[in-house]
Amino acid sequence: MKDDDLDIEFQQAVARVNEHTDPFPADTLLKLYAYYKKATNNYSRPSSKKAIINAFKTNALFQAKDISEDEAKRAYINLVNNYFLYRR
């Protein structure tokens, strides 16, 4: 997949997540968070008002620390596609 195609598919997956109105399972949300941060090279610290949520987000980021930006985009896309394919 070319970089432009990957970026387009990633943005479509992000839009799909943002348009979804039902709650995601917590483990899925944490993975989406970590992959999105890695994919967009956003290294800002988690900023939830609750320390426990920041701890979970930090842990998710730590688990994704060794993947590249493109790998994070692919993982995000796959997670979104599988979630919508298998949810019910």
In angstroms, the CA 86 to CA 88 distance is 7
Cβ atoms of 23 and 53 within 8 Å: the answer is no
CATH of the domain at 68: 1.20.80.10
What pLDDT, on the 0 to 100 scale, is given for residue 88? 56
The predicted pLDDT at position 2 comes to: 77
pLDDT tens, residue by residue, 6-55: 999 999 999 999 999 999 999 999 999 999 999 999 888 888 889 999 99
Domain limits at 10? 3-86
Overall domain count for the chain? 1
pLDDT in tens, 53-82: 999 999 999 999 999 999 999 999 999 999
Residue-by-residue DSSP string for 42-62: --PPP--SSHHHHHHHHHHHH
Gap between the Cα atoms of 28 and 16, Å rounded: 14
Give the integer Cα–Cα distance in Å for 84 and 88.
9
Predicted model pTM = 0.90
